[in-house]
Amino acid sequence: MKIAIAQINTTVGDFAGNSAKIITGIRQGERAGVDVVLFPELAISGYPPRDMLEKPSFIEGNLRAIEAVAKETRGTAALVGFASRNESKDGRGLFNSAGFLHDGSVKFVQHKTLLPQYDVFDEGRHFEPAKEHEVYEFKGRRIGITLCEDLWSKHSFRGRRLYRVDPAHLLKEAGAELIFNISASPFTVGKQRIRYDLFSAEAKSVGLPVFYCNMVGGNDELVFDGRSFVLDAEGRTVCEAQAFEEDFIVVDSDAMGKPSDIVDLPEEEEIWRALVLGLSDYMKKCGFARAVVGLSGGIDSAVVAAIACDAVGPDKVLGVMLPSPYTEERSLRDAERLARNLGISTWHVPINEIYETYRRALGYSSKDAGEVSLAEENIQSRIRGNILMAISNREGSIVLSTGNKSELSVGYCTLYGDMAGGFALISDIPKKIVYRLAQYANRGGERIPKAIILRPPSAELKPNQADTDSLPPYDVLDPIMRHYIEDRMSAEEIVARGFDKDTALRIIRMIDANEYKRRQAPPGIKITMKAFGMGRRFPIARKS
């Protein structure tokens, strides 16, 4: 049996566009003499649809679309993800389903069994789990259909198995000869190896080949990295699709070819490409053609600008320099050089005069410039935010805020100031990784000037300021942050790893105290196991 995997990039709610992509994939399969083409989970509706699923008109649009796509099928079948109604009067009203379409209609539907409800996933909010697991026989082959998490039943989540049901085994018992899996599995660093290990163990355990189709593309905070694959009955990869782009691969289940390992991308490369895809899709899907970035001469804004150039092209990126009385000359020089390297236009808007009028209005003495208060630092940052937003308002461009995860975690950032923007591109990137991304940006020659990379980080909101005036060095901050947020360690456990107790407690206190800032942050792209945003839900008013 010839099986194709169509790794497509869908948009939530774009039934017409998503259907067109699916039909294109079916035609491509027909031309290649394929028996069945696999499309991702919820390909019809886009993923994650979130509470759009509560709108009856959304469900109807999705059902009309799957029927219309089915009408386009002839001998080549398609396996397509969509939301189906639960006709029973109790339980949740929907299923997360895979429709097997051929010869003009939906012939068979398998619902998803294991519904993730951790981190960014809310599937138990909308979907009822499948109770039945039947195989579908097509062209003499008995096919077992699973959706994403259905093959994650063996996974250990912080030492626990979440699920008691193992859909692949139920399907094997029902006579399956092949396992199909359609997924919407978002990227995090190193995720592909986790998927491979899990799916490979599952293939071996049931002794069946696995055809896994993942989606690709950015949707708000999530980037789907594609990298669909086919495993033989011994769990070895026989084919892997491209990372971070659409792809179409064909494998004959009767001649699966020589096994080889999955491709491990270097960490910097996979992060860079995730950010490029996530940004370009966010802009495209939200209707922005142009981006604007405040260039401080620091490394964060340099990396953001470079990624933006790769995402939408330098002619679509504007760099704005917004010097204050505390901006050093070399910051402007470095920013100018960066802009020349990247080939982007720049605009200079000095904020001194605006800053002074604010200070007067608020009753600050005109003499007293030596001691800059926190309020005055924030005013500078917010003036910059306002100017970038005014440019965005005028030109219809999106402001990319430039804060990294280290700053955002400890609140070393200003609400409505440097946090202002439509998209917080690197808000899940720890500062140490920002440096590695800067090196990666320069892999083919200088794009980010060395001076920017080498200079000690500073917010330049008062004279001779350095990040280390307020924060521990990032060598210390970053691992403590990771242990606390990603590994959910307590202060005691972190200290047991060899970190200074006062430093650890101070960082934890800062992280806890800044929930209110993060609540108002723009969306950013998740690349770690635990990003701020939809997958991390903490109360603001609380103790401990």
Q: What letter would DSSP give residue 114?
A: -
Residue 367 as a binder of a copy of itself (CB under 8 A): the answer is no
Tokens representing 512 are 């806890």
* Sites for a copy of itself among residues 281-300 (CB under 8 A): 281-282, 285-286
How many other C-beta atoms lie within 10 A of the C-beta of residue 194? 14
Of residues 164, 329, 367, 370, which one binds a copy of itself by CB under 8 A?
A: 164
Residue 325 as a binder of a copy of itself (CB under 8 A): the answer is no
Give dist(CA 48, CA 64) in Å, integer: 19
Report CA-CA distances (Å) from 504 to 374, 431, 501.
Answer: 24, 17, 5
3-state secondary structure of 174: coil
Catalytic residue list contains 517: no
Residue 95 as a binder of a copy of itself (CB under 8 A): the answer is no
Residue 473 as a binder of a copy of itself (CB under 8 A): the answer is no
* Sites for a copy of itself among residues 23-82 (CB under 8 A): 46, 48-52, 54-58, 61
Closest CA to 296 of 321, 326, 319: 321
Q: For the chain, what's the residue count?
A: 544
Q: Which stretch binds a copy of itself (CB under 8 A): 280-288, 326-334, 336-344, 464-472?
A: 280-288
Phi, psi for residue 178 in degrees, rounded to 5? -140, 145
* Sites for a copy of itself among residues 108-137 (CB under 8 A): 117-118, 122, 124-125
Catalytic residue list contains 148: yes
- Count of positions on this chain that bind a copy of itself (CB under 8 A): 90
Of residues 11, 28, 242, 465, which one binds a copy of itself by CB under 8 A?
A: 11
- The label of the residue with tokens 């010097």 reads 323
Closest to a copy of itself by CB, 118 vs 469, is: 118
Catalytic residue among 2, 123, 128, 148: 148
Of residues 31, 87, 89, 254, which one binds a copy of itself by CB under 8 A?
A: 89
CB 176 within 8 A of CB 208: yes
* Sites for a copy of itself among residues 133-162 (CB under 8 A): 158, 160-162
Of residues 80, 238, 379, 408, which one binds a copy of itself by CB under 8 A?
A: 379
3-state secondary structure of 115: coil
The nearest distance, CB 514 to a copy of itself, in angstroms, is: 12
- The label of the residue with tokens 């202060």 reads 491
Tokens representing 128 are 């009822």
Residue 478 as a binder of a copy of itself (CB under 8 A): the answer is no
Tokens representing 419 are 């946090």
Of residues 139, 330, 333, 488, which one binds a copy of itself by CB under 8 A?
A: 488
The nearest distance, CB 80 to a copy of itself, in angstroms, is: 18
Catalytic residue list contains 221: no
What DSSP line would sit under 366-403, residue for residue? SS--SS--HHHHHHHHHHHHHHHHHHHHHHTPEEEE--
Tokens representing 130 are 């499948």
Of residues 295, 415, 433, 480, which one binds a copy of itself by CB under 8 A?
A: 415
Q: What letter would DSSP give residue 130?
A: P
* Sites for a copy of itself among residues 206-225 (CB under 8 A): 218-220
Residues identified as active-site: 41, 112, 148
